[in-house]
């Protein structure tokens, strides 16, 4: 039922008013019509600064959660489970400005997911997203691993 309204504009609106994103200063700037590209911003606000007056690391980490899972839910549809499984962040330099993250899924990545899950097997794709400052400098690198599998009613075995 949810998949009938699971459209980029609806997802963007819902997440932009979702308290964890809104409160952290996270905003989805755009979602492509095919869910393959998402652009996001983390606004630097007085309440999400750390003791050093730069972006709070938890907000930076939240900027990337659960974007790839939501993109793949939109692409794969209701036949699949898509969950975040693991994530890590490497802080490279302080985030002293608004920060940005661009997420993209290639045709090759999607073809690999479809091939690995066609018979009902689990798949654990890994993605890297770079969080950048307003000058385009990388301030953090986030690695995310997902769990993807067809739901039981759609598996061959």
Q: Mind giving me the DSSP string for 117-133?
A: HTTS--B--EEEEEEE-
Cβ count within 10 A of residue 23: 13
| Predicted TM-score (pTM) of this structure | 0.93
Q: CA-to-CA distance for 76 and 23, rounded, in angstroms?
A: 29
CA dist list (Å): 87 to 19, 47, 61, 90, 118: 22, 25, 9, 10, 25
pLDDT for res 118: 93
**pLDDT tens column, 20-71:** 999 999 999 999 999 999 999 999 998 888 899 999 999 999 999 999 999 9
């Amino acid at each position: 039922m949810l998949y009938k309204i699971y459209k980029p504009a609806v997802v963007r609106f819902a997440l932009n008013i979702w308290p964890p994103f809104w409160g952290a200063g996270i905003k989805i700037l755009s979602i492509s019509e095919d869910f393959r590209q998402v652009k996001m911003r983390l606004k630097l606000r007085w309440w999400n600064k750390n003791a050093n007056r730069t972006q709070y690391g938890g907000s930076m980490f939240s900027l990337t959660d659960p974007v790839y899972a939501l993109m793949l839910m939109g692409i794969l549809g209701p036949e699949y489970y898509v969950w975040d499984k693991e994530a890590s962040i490497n802080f490279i330099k302080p985030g002293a400005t608004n920060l940005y993250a661009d997420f993209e899924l290639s045709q090759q990545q999607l073809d690999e997911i479809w091939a690995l899950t066609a018979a009902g097997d689990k798949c654990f794709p890994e993605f890297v997203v770079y969080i950048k400052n307003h000058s385009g400098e990388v301030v953090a690198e986030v690695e995310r691993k997902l769990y993807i599998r067809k739901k039981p009613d759609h598996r061959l075995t």
